[in-house]
Chain A
Amino acid sequence: MSEHLLSVKDLCKEFPTPAGVVHAVDHVSFDIDRGHSVAVVGESGCGKTTLALSVLQLISPTSGSVVFDGIDTFAAKGRDLQTLRQKIGVVFQDPHSSLNPRMRVGDSIGEPLRVHRGLRGRELKDRVAQLLEDVGMPPSAAERFPHQFSGGQRQRIAIARALALEPELIVLDEPTSALDVSVQAQVLNLLADLKRDKGISYLFISHSLATVEYLADTLIVMYLGRIVEGGNADEIFADPQHPYTQMLVGSVPQLDPAKRGKRELPKGDIPSPINRPNGCPFSTRCPKVMDRCRAEAPTPIKIGDKEVWAACFLHDKG
Chain B
Amino acid sequence: MTTPVLSVRDLRVGFKSRQGITQVLHGVSMDIAPGEIVGMVGESGSGKSTTPAAALGLMPRNAIVSGEVQMAGLPVNVARPKDARTDTRGKASVIFQQPMRAFSPYDRLERQITDAIIAQTGVSKKDAKERALHGFERLKLPDPALALTKYPHQMSGGQLQRAMIALAFACEPKLLICDEPTTALDVTVQAQVIHMIRQMAEEDNVGVLFITHDLGVVAEICDRVYVMYAGRIAEENSVGELLGKPRHRYSRALLNSTPVMGEKARFQTIPGNAPAAGAHIEGCAFADRCAAATTVCSLHPPSKTENNSGHFACHNPEPVEAA
> Measuring CB to CB, which residues of chain A are less than 8 angstroms from any residue of chain B?
43-44, 150-151, 180-186, 188-189, 192, 207-211, 213-214, 237, 247-258, 260, 265-266, 269-270, 272
Complex CA gap A238/B273 in Å reads 35
Contact A210 B259 (CB under 8 A): yes
Contact B215 A207 (CB under 8 A): no
Interface residue B219 (Cβ < 8 Å from any Cβ of A): yes
Complex CA gap A185/B217 in Å reads 17
Interface residue B104 (Cβ < 8 Å from any Cβ of A): no
B213 neighbours in A (Cβ, 8 Å): 180-181
Contact of B158 among A237, A247, A269 (CB under 8 A): A269
How many residues does chain B have at the interface if contact means C-beta atoms less than 8 Å apart? 44
Contact A213 B192 (CB under 8 A): no
Complex CA gap A183/B289 in Å reads 13
How far apart are A22's CB and chain B's nearest CB, in angstroms? 14
How far apart are A210's CB and chain B's nearest CB, in angstroms? 4
Interface residue B142 (Cβ < 8 Å from any Cβ of A): yes
Complex CA gap A253/B216 in Å reads 5
Known: A210-B260, A266-B192. A181 touches B253 (CB 8 A): no
> Measuring CB to CB, which residues of chain B are less than 8 angstroms from any residue of chain A?
43-44, 142, 156-159, 186-192, 194-195, 213-217, 219-220, 222, 239-240, 243, 253-262, 264, 266-270, 273
Can you spell out 8 A-B residue pairs with CB atoms less than 8 angstroms apart? A44-B186, A182-B253, A185-B258, A185-B269, A186-B267, A189-B266, A253-B220, A270-B186
Residue among B186, B214, B219, B266 having the largest count of chain A Cβ atoms under 10 Å? B186
Contact B259 A255 (CB under 8 A): no
Residue among B158, B194, B260 having the largest count of chain A Cβ atoms under 10 Å? B260
Complex CA gap A129/B81 in Å reads 49
Across the interface, name the chain B residue whose C-beta is closest to A193: B266
Closest 9 CB pairs of A and B: A253-B216, A210-B259, A43-B186, A185-B267, A185-B257, A251-B191, A266-B188, A180-B43, A182-B257
Residue among B222, B239, B243, B269 having the largest count of chain A Cβ atoms under 10 Å? B269
Across the interface, name the chain A residue whose C-beta is closest to B162: A269
Contact A269 B258 (CB under 8 A): no
Complex CA gap A237/B215 in Å reads 21
Contact B216 A150 (CB under 8 A): no
Across the interface, name the chain A residue whose C-beta is closest to B225: A257
Across the interface, name the chain B residue whose C-beta is closest to A182: B257
User: In the complex, given contacts A189-B266, A237-B262, what are 11 additional A-B residue pairs having Cβ atoms less than 8 angstroms apart?
Assistant: A182-B43, A184-B257, A185-B257, A189-B267, A213-B264, A251-B187, A252-B216, A253-B190, A253-B191, A254-B261, A255-B219
Contact B43 A181 (CB under 8 A): yes
Known: A180-B44, A182-B43, A270-B156. A257 touches B260 (CB 8 A): no
Complex CA gap A272/B150 in Å reads 15
Across the interface, name the chain B residue whose C-beta is closest to A234: B264
Contact A254 B216 (CB under 8 A): yes
Contact of A150 among B190, B255, B273 (CB under 8 A): B273
Complex CA gap A180/B256 in Å reads 13
A249 neighbours in B (Cβ, 8 Å): 261
Known: A189-B267, A265-B195. A209 touches B187 (CB 8 A): yes
